[in-house]
Amino acid sequence: MSPNTDRPSTDRSRRRFLTGSAALAASLSLSTAGCLSGLPPLGDDQRYGRLDVPPAGDPAYRRWLPAPSAVDTDVDDYHFVAMQSTASRPDAPAKFVGGRARLKASLDYVGVGFETYDRVVSGTFGTVAEASFDRERVVQTIDSTGYEQTGAYRGYTVFARSDVPRRVAVGDGTVVFTSAYHHDSPDLEALVDAGRGTRPRYHDTNDGFEALSTAAGGNPYLGVNTATHDPTGRPVMMADAIRFDEETAYQVVQYHYRDPDRVPSADALERALREDDYRFVDGADAFDVALAGRLATVETQVPLSGDQSVPPEYQLPQVTWGVDADASNDRVTFRHEAGEAVSANRLFYDVHRPAAPGRIDKRDLWTGTETVEAGTEAVVDLRDDPDATGVSLVYSTEEVGFHVLLGVDLRGETDA
């Protein structure tokens, strides 16, 4: 599928870049839409019946979710993605493979590879990764990049940088990452406090989220959006999970209705599912719909693909990128500081211009080299783009969708 250059990236709109917010990792609309997904909506030929779906695990991710009332910013749309394991699964549905890839690419490399994480939770306030690692080695890796140590917080070593505002906190077995580009309301302290239990957690303060998250449980992949609607148009909190057994992948979508007087019947939900544009995993043809009080559950299944390698469009890198914006000389420099080597022919840049809002142009960035690795940099010359308001680093493979890895606002409007 060729990218449509007259629309934003598959993962991020130009408007959201200009405001400095992201919702990359957690928005369900992002994890199920766009050129990289290719997932079909339900059709009239779908079958309904009982499915033998594996049970969910413990919702341990909830310890890292601070209550909206416990942060300083207003939170209208609380969303997140949680993964119990980050190991690669090329045989999984594209929804899982693509979601994992985008989450991986949103994180800076700190000396511990994404595939070795035990658990990742990423959402409105930032990303938390739990893993077994040598804390000193991680600190040394971050020290070798453009980050600077800024002190400590509750036993965590804290780093920050200002090119694209980011912060990292390193604890024992835990790394907390916040980015003004990838997260809507970065709040490193709120995540650390929630993890320690010294700040109220979301499920302890909201009965609806407690019910939804308990029902959804822990999953290989889970996305939650607390401000959306079901296929009938009723306001809900929604959880969208992927589970596996030895031969099959299962998608479990659950809706918790905000208004107890507006819960649809199972028949009404089934009819709406046939017409709704919500995307289920490719190949799903059997669906189980069940209602229990204010909770509706839709389950479906597809065979595992048997693929042994991840498609190129999902081979997104985990890299710490540095950016130097020299407005006086109309130059922006992108620098690979740490992490995976990347094929140079998959990296491009895009210039944001008021005259072409929402348009993505892939321009060659690294020339004269085959591989981009730590210490490699490339300069973007903006003398022919005097109206440029920002520049993005873009990952793309030939004839498929693209992914914006990082962007810098040349107007200096992004908050730290």
Could you tell me if 320 and 307 lie in one domain? no
Q: Which of 314, 344, 369 is the last residue of a domain?
A: 314
**What is the number of structural domains in the chain?**
2
At 305-315, the pLDDT tens digits run: 999 999 999 99
Could you tell me if 81 and 24 lie in one domain? yes
pLDDT at 23 over 60: no
Could you tell me if 241 and 335 lie in one domain? no
Could you tell me if 76 and 224 lie in one domain? yes
What's 330's domain CATH number? 2.60.40
Range of the domain at 271: 1-314
Average pLDDT for 220-235: 96
Could you tell me if 60 and 72 lie in one domain? yes
Q: Provide the pLDDT for residue 43.
A: 45
Could you tell me if 1 and 89 lie in one domain? yes
Q: Which of 314, 333, 364 is the last residue of a domain?
A: 314
Asked, for residue 53, whether it belongs to a domain, the answer is yes
Could you tell me if 67 and 80 lie in one domain? yes
At 140-172, the pLDDT tens digits run: 999 999 999 999 999 999 999 999 999 999 999
Q: Which residues of 220-245 are buried (b: 16+ CB within 10 A; e: fewer)?
A: bbbbbbbebbbbbebebbbbbbbbbe
Asked, for residue 132, whether it belongs to a domain, the answer is yes
Average pLDDT for 175-189: 97
Whole-structure pTM value: 0.87
pLDDT at 114 over 90: yes
Could you tell me if 281 and 358 lie in one domain? no
Asked, for residue 395, whether it belongs to a domain, the answer is yes
Q: Which of 314, 344, 370 is the last residue of a domain?
A: 314
Q: Provide the pLDDT for residue 140.
A: 98
Average pLDDT for 285-293: 88
Could you tell me if 92 and 233 lie in one domain? yes
Higher pLDDT, 2 or 384: 384
Asked, for residue 414, whether it belongs to a domain, the answer is no
CA-closest candidate to residue 91, choices 225, 235, 255, 281: 281
pLDDT at 20 over 90: no
Asked, for residue 415, whether it belongs to a domain, the answer is no
Q: What are phi and psi of 314, to 5 degrees?
A: -105, 10
pLDDT at 176 over 60: yes
